[in-house]
A = this chain, B = another copy of it.
Amino acid sequence: MSDALTRLSAAFRMLPSVGLKSATRYAYKIIEMPQESVDEFVSAIIEAKQTIHFCSECGDYTDLDVCLRCQTADKSTICVVRDPRDISAIEKTGSYHGLYHALHGTLDFQKGITAERLRIKELISRLTDVQEVIIATNPDISGELTAAYVAQIVKSLGIKVTRLAHGIPMGGEVEYADEVTLTRALNDRKEI
């Protein structure tokens, strides 16, 4: 392979889960594309990198100062997530219409991620008219720790705090659920 092709293939390997084989295929595809498509590709990258930054309110990606959702959503509820990706996932359900708040990480003392490095102060300053804070961090050690930490602060302000339900996933089978999930599903059982 020529130097330029090797360099391009190395560039593609910066993308998540792209190995040598895919990177090489992508590099060949770029060479084979008509010039207009390559121009569009490059200009889409440059435009996105230039215009997209974090919303100063919720921390999601936006090309505005305050994103459209923060401007128009129901302001009585705020859903706390780790990353903007989690916002996308919840938005796709279409069943939530309130505000979001991305912490940009979860507490992890081994990695040196303390409360000061997360957007917790920013969350507190947004709670003026909020009636409920839904905590939607992942159900892993770091996510649970962060949930407990945020919950304590929010409750001390007299605001209701809830956590996403955990249990057997829809379509999942009880037989194959892991012990932790099953224990959680038992403890959180609902009267029907």
* A residues neighboring B (CB under 8 Å): 1-5, 7-8, 10-11, 14-17, 22, 24-31, 33, 35, 37-38, 40-42, 44-49, 51-52, 61-63, 67, 84-85, 88
The reply to whether B7 and A44 form a contact with Cβ atoms under 8 Å apart is: yes
Query: Chain A at the B interface: mostly helix, strand, loop or mixed?
Result: helix
The reply to whether B62 and A35 form a contact with Cβ atoms under 8 Å apart is: no
Q: Please, which residues of chain B bring their CB within 8 A of the CB of A52?
A: 2, 4-5, 31
* Oligomeric state, in copies: 2
Given A2-B52, A31-B61, check contact A45 B42 (CB 8 Å).
Answer: yes
Q: Please, which residues of chain B bring their CB within 8 A of the CB of A29?
A: 14-16
Q: Please, which residues of chain B bring their CB within 8 A of the CB of A62?
A: 2
A48: which of B4, B14, B45 is its contact (CB, 8 Å)?
B4
Alpha-carbon distance between A37 and B10 when the two chains are bound, in angstroms: 11
Alpha-carbon distance between A14 and B28 when the two chains are bound, in angstroms: 12
A88 to B: closest C-beta gap in Å: 7
Q: Please, which residues of chain B bring their CB within 8 A of the CB of A28?
A: 61, 84-85
Q: Please, which residues of chain B bring their CB within 8 A of the CB of A67?
A: 2
The reply to whether A48 and B31 form a contact with Cβ atoms under 8 Å apart is: yes
Q: Please give me the residue from chain B that is nearest to A40 by CB atom.
A: B11
Q: Please, which residues of chain B bring their CB within 8 A of the CB of A49?
A: 30-31, 33, 35, 38
Q: Please, which residues of chain B bring their CB within 8 A of the CB of A45?
A: 8, 11, 30, 38, 41-42
Q: Please give me the residue from chain B that is nearest to A22 by CB atom.
A: B17
Alpha-carbon distance between A3 and B50 when the two chains are bound, in angstroms: 13
